[in-house]
Amino acid sequence: MDKLRICGNGPLNGEIRVSGAKNAALPILCTSLLTADTMRFTNVPMLRDISTTQKLLQGMGVRVMTDNVHEMEITADHLDSLVAPYDLVKTMRASILVLGPTLARFGEATVSLPGGCAIGSRPVDQHIKGLVAMGAEVVIEHGYVKAKAARLRGAHIVMDVVTVGGTENLLMAAALADGTTILENAAREPEVTDLANCLVAMGARISGIGTNRLVVEGVDKLHGCEYAIMPDRIEAGTFLVAAAITQGHLILRNAAPRSMESVLDKLVEAGAIVEAGDDWISLDMKRRPKAINFRTLPYPAFPTDMQAQLMTLNCVAEGTGVVTETIFENRFMHVPELNRMGARIEVEGNTAVVHGVDKLSGATVMATDLRASASLVLAGLVAQGETIVDRIYHLDRGYEYIEKKLGAVGAQIERIS
Ligand code: UD1
């Protein structure tokens, strides 16, 4: 099992190219299920979750061609199976995203229920509620969601919670439904917008894109298109924190600064000098970071996927920062590991109080989920001595060549078996 060995060695300096966004790519690859034509995707990140999606689609009979250098062609002219099996869904919850498009185009879909995960219980009731409102018959049997509808019909759906995956599933389903669907209290995350833009390029009729009220006029058929996946705002944010805590200077290329304003604001509050153009961000940190307070909330507020990384910044900052997690109930798994590296974090319910310390010390630590792993890598960059981050298969789900990217800007980091 692979591990990362990191030795804290001072400021990072240089340029990094940001990869395509994992969380945009996962739903966008599933749009292939909505058309018999070939879809061509560029800027696809080469990650473990992307190969899981590829396996999932291939298992259903979809043809996937990839050059493994960020391009993929997918043709779902026919399917052999309308089932997403447990073996794949258990490794990636986003597999639930095949439910909406498969049901909408083929009239039937069976997807294993994802179940809980390290960061919380993560139900899919809103996905199901929406599909039922659109006329689907849904039963849960033997751990699977089985949905049927000769043709989905438009409906007025008010989501009880803001859910990214739920909004995406229903958006894809509504694109081929009979009539108009209105999704109220929809998620506004940039990845939802990227999916909506891809659907529009396929011939879907969607208005309200980027707002929490999406109106979809269903069409009979969608066509193929070429689509470039947006840059990954969470990967970009992680590198910016790396620059801030090492008191370095990084320029990110192929970035999407407008999708990450809440994170950039917090980095400025921590004392960083941040500049940005349309597709680049520069962060220069000339001092020890100042501790910051933040609360995770749906977009455009501060993203839960950056909570662990900014917590690492607070660990080595001047002062005390208060972090509140409101999206997932169990997303402080990195705290005991950071404390093992010398951090001073106290957790009370969904709030963590982080007292900045002068130094972290390297230790062997265990990755528990994707973003928790990223926070431990960041801590390793500023810790004295050697840090070994174990179980980095979590990290490989969402960070492409992280050791190469960080190594190229001066980090001492290597992958070991
Ligand atoms: C997506 C992201 C994940 C991110 C999260 C929140 C992908 C592949 N993953 O996950 O990285 O952390 O958004 O920004 O895009 N909920 C319900 N019922 C539902 C659905 C969700 O109660 O039917 C709850 C969840 O338990 C959670 C909250 O809503 O507390 C937000 O979850 P959701 O936005 O759906 O997250 P994902 O789409 O799974």
Pocket test for ligand 1, best of 327, 371, 375 (most atoms within 8 A of CB): 327
117 has pLDDT over 80: no
Residue 364 exposed, middle or buried by CB count within 10 Å (0-12, 13-18, 19+): middle
270 has pLDDT over 70: yes
Q: Report, as an integer, the average pLDDT of 59-81.
A: 94
Q: What's the rounded Cα separation, in Å, for the pair 91 and 354?
A: 32
- For ligand 1, whether the C-beta of 23 sits within 6 Å is yes
Residue closest via CA to ligand 1's atom 21 equals 163
CA of 165 to the centre of ligand 1 (A): 6
- For ligand 1, whether the C-beta of 305 sits within 6 Å is yes
Residue closest via CA to ligand 1's atom 25 equals 122
Residue 14, strand partner residues: 250
347 has pLDDT over 70: yes
- Banded model confidence at residue 67, pLDDT cuts 50, 70, 90: confident
Q: Report, as an integer, the average pLDDT of 201-209.
A: 98
- For ligand 1, whether the C-beta of 166 sits within 6 Å is yes
Output Rg (C-alpha) for the chain, integer angstroms. Answer: 21
3-state secondary structure of 83: strand
33 has pLDDT over 80: yes
- Banded model confidence at residue 115, pLDDT cuts 50, 70, 90: low
Contacts of 180 (CB under 8 A, 6+ apart): 154, 215, 216, 217, 218
234 has pLDDT over 80: yes
pLDDT at residue 417, as a whole number: 86
Is 335 within 8 Å of 375 (Cβ atoms)?
Answer: no
DSSP string covering 220-278: S-----EEEPPB-HHHHHHHHHHHHHTT-EEEEES--GGGGHHHHHHHHHTT-EEEE-S
Q: Using one digit for the tens of pLDDT, what is the confidence trace for 289-310?
A: 999 999 999 999 999 999 999 9
326 CB-side CA count, 13 A = 12
pLDDT at residue 185, as a whole number: 98
pLDDT at residue 368, as a whole number: 87
Is 165 within 8 Å of 195 (Cβ atoms)?
Answer: no
Q: Which among 30, 117, 198, 315 is annotated as catalytic?
A: 117
Please choose, from the candidates 131, 220, 217, 132, the residue with its C-alpha nearest in 3D space to the C-alpha of residue 168. 131
Please choose, from the candidates 20, 63, 65, the residue with its C-alpha nearest in 3D space to the C-alpha of residue 42. 20
User: Is the link from the previous residue into 300 a cis peptide, with omega within 30 of 0?
Assistant: yes
Please choose, from the candidates 399, 406, 390, the residue with its C-alpha nearest in 3D space to the C-alpha of residue 45. 399
pLDDT at residue 116, as a whole number: 61
Q: Using one digit for the tens of pLDDT, what is the confidence trace for 79-97?
A: 999 999 999 998 899 999 9
117 classed as catalytic: yes
261 has pLDDT over 70: yes
pLDDT at residue 276, as a whole number: 98
Q: Report, as an integer, the average pLDDT of 156-160.
A: 98
- How many CB atoms are located within 10 Å of the residue 186 CB? 26
Q: Report, as an integer, the average pLDDT of 33-42.
A: 98
- Distances in Å between the alpha carbon of 240 and those of 266, 267, 371? 11, 8, 14
Q: What's the rounded Cα separation, in Å, for the pair 234 and 307?
A: 10
Residue closest via CA to ligand 1's atom 24 equals 122
Q: Using one digit for the tens of pLDDT, what is the confidence trace for 206-224?
A: 999 999 999 999 999 999 9
Q: Report, as an integer, the average pLDDT of 192-200.
A: 98
Residue 94 CA: nearest ligand 1 atom is 8
